[in-house]
Amino acid sequence: MPFPDLVHPLLDAYESSVVTPADFAQFWQSTLAESRAVGGRMQMVAAETTLKLVDVFDVTFPGFGGHPVKGWLVLPRERASKLPLLVQYVGYGGGRGFPHELLHWAASGFAYFRMDTRGQGSSWSTGATPDPVGSTSQIPGMMTKGVLDRNDYYYRRVFTDGVRAIDALAELDFVDSDRIAVCGGSQGGGISLAVAGIENRVKAVMPDVPFLCDFPRAVRMAARDPYLEIVRFLAQHREKREMVFETLRYFDGVCFARQSQAAALYSVALMDDICPASTVYAAYRAHAGEDKSVVEYEFNNHEGGGPYQDRQQMTWLTERFGMVG
């Protein structure tokens, strides 16, 4: 099976050519400040399920622009002390689904929150969060929605939602705000990198085969969607290449990693033709925090480590958060 990207040792030598914009930090600070200023109220409604070992809440919190964003909060029914918080962002096209779909974090003693991705949630799991913002001409999907202006770009809203989720949940009395972690696979990994880059209350980040990293290389190496939405856009709008890549710099996981101090557990798959290995390593190498490691899966495509990596994450995070034994 030919590898779709560099392999070792060339892979080790690769570094992203993405330059962090001078006003990168400021762009995100003002973006966040704007949405925080709008404010809004969080709602938590207990959900009816057959689950007896956990409590489930249907949460709505104010995201970008105060827009309501949904998520499931699942936590052990019996809880002696404050719980560490793990926020998971989901992969491209999916939504928060049903609360019974993913229970291993709550069963391990975490307050676990799975956030909807606005406007997504119809392709492989269901979501319930609108993206109440329109777009100029775009390729179907999210990658080129508003891509001609960094202020209009779809992921500006999503990354802000990701931070605002933490704003909302850190306040809850059963949450230990000193032990906050974020994770996610693919797009969820990309969002978690962004959130861990913007928000320093995040102590640990676990990007699993992350998407949204090193865009200039990614769109030229990926063999399958969704990076190719950008290629198809440029194949039509042939004159807008510079404009598009200029926007994407503000949303590149490599730039977020460069300013993240969170402990990090990355994963990467060498046969991944959706999120090419070099783009993941580009972020990993750039990661500022010193406690970082990466798990490599040589013979996997974008499914990566799957349950192996889940297990790895559970071990790694419970250690870091002092939950062992």
Active site residues: 186, 272, 302
- The residues with which 297 forms a beta bridge, in sequence order, are 269
Stretch that binds a copy of itself, among 31-39, 125-133, 175-183, 186-194 (CB under 8 A): 125-133
Residue numbers 67-96 binding a copy of itself by CB under 8 A: 76, 78, 93, 95
**Nearest distance, CB of residue 168 and a copy of itself, angstroms:** 21
Q: Which two tokens stand for residue 110?
A: 């975490």
Q: Which tokens belong to 162? A: 């990701």
Instruction: Please give the Cα distance from 60 to 5 (Å, whole number).
Output: 40
Would you say 199 or 272 has its CB closer to a copy of itself?
272
To a copy of itself, the closest distance from the beta carbon of 303 in angstroms equals 7
Q: What gap in Å lies between CA 145 and CA 138, rounded to an integer? A: 6
Among 6, 69, 222, 282, binds a copy of itself (CB under 8 A): 222
CB of 100 to a copy of itself, least distance (A): 4
Q: At what angle do helices 241-248 and 227-236 cross, to 10 degrees?
A: 150
Q: Is 227 annotated as a binding residue?
A: no
Neighbours of 293 (CB within 10 A): 12
* Span interacting with a copy of itself, options 21-29, 35-43, 189-197, 217-225, rule CB under 8 A: 217-225
Spatial separation of the C-alpha atoms in residues 118 and 115, rounded to whole Å: 9
Q: Does 314 bind a copy of itself (CB under 8 A)?
A: yes
36/232 with CB nearer a copy of itself: 232
If binding is defined by CB under 8 A, does position 318 make contact with a copy of itself? yes
Does the footprint of a copy of itself cover residue 64 (CB under 8 A)?
no
Closest CA relative to residue 113, chosen from 92, 79, 158, 83: 83
Give the gyration radius of the chain's Cα atoms.
19
What is the CB neighbour count within 10 angstroms for residue 206?
Answer: 29
CA–CA dist 190, 211 (Å, integer): 5
Residue 137 contacts a copy of itself per CB under 8 A: yes
We find the least distance from the C-beta atom of residue 230 to a copy of itself, in angstroms, to be 8
Chosen residue from 6, 86, 228, 263 binding a copy of itself by CB under 8 A: 228
Is 125 a binding residue for a copy of itself by CB under 8 A? The answer is yes
